[in-house]
Structure formats: structure tokens, C-alpha cells
Amino acid sequence: MRRHIYSFKFRDDTTEEQIEAVRSSYEAMRAADPDGWASLTMGPNISQSPRSARYNWVVTIDFRTYKAYRDYEESAAHREMVEKVLTPIVERLSGVDYDIDETPPE
């Protein structure tokens, strides 16, 4: 399984409606490929660390295959979501991907 994690620092003026649009976009992409996506979680950073929070939201997606991951990364829906929904509200982001056990190619 391929795990895809992104942390976002949304701009201070980001509205709840804009965050809901991000969530809805991810949910729509998952619905379009229910066999490829094993799980999707998204939520605010609830850390109570004394260090200042660098990111205020995180999304984690588990893909069953490498193909499902690549299909998501290369999809028109993903490009559109990044361009129209995320870019206007994201101050910074950080992402990582890793495999849990082996990720089958297809």
C-alpha cells in the first residue's frame, strides 16, 4: 500500500467553506476510484506542542496499488483541485509518500 501524506498551512483568512471545498474535492476523487483508494483521512492539526504549529491541516490517503496512486497524481481532477481549490488558500505545504509493506504495481 502506498501512503500519501500532505500537511497544509492554510492562510489565516481561509474560510470554513474553503476548507470544506478541499475536503469535498478529496472525497469526490475517492468516490471516482473506490477500488484504488483504501482510505482517506483529513483533519486539523490538534497538537498541543509548545512549538509553533507549522501546518494546520493534514490529509492522508492510502492507495492499494502504485497504479491507483499514479492515476490520482496524474488525474485532471487532482490538477484542477490543486489549481482552483488549494493554491488560493495554501501558504505552504509539505508532502511525503511511503510504502506500507509492498505496494503492488496494479
Tell me which of 96 and 52 has the higher pLDDT. 96
Task: Answer yes or no: is 93 within a domain.
Answer: yes
Question: Rounded to whole angstroms, how far apart are CA atoms 53 and 23?
Answer: 21
Task: Answer yes or no: is 38 within a domain.
Answer: yes
Identify the CATH number of the domain in which residue 42 sits.
Answer: 3.30.70.100
pLDDT above 90: percentage of residues in the chain:
90
Q: Which domain holds residue 68?
A: 2-99
Task: Answer yes or no: is 41 within a domain.
Answer: yes
E strand residue ranges, the chain? 2-10, 37-44, 57-63, 90-99
Number of domains in the chain: 1
Assess whether pLDDT exceeds 80 at residue 102: yes
pLDDT of amino acid 82: 96
Task: Answer yes or no: is 105 within a domain.
Answer: no
Task: Answer yes or no: is 83 within a domain.
Answer: yes
pLDDT of amino acid 33: 95
* 26-63 per-position pLDDT tens digit: 999 999 999 999 999 999 999 888 887 789 999 999 99
Kindly report the number of other CB atoms within 10 A of residue 68's CB atom: 22
Query: What pTM was computed for the model?
Result: 0.92
Task: Answer yes or no: is 104 within a domain.
Answer: no
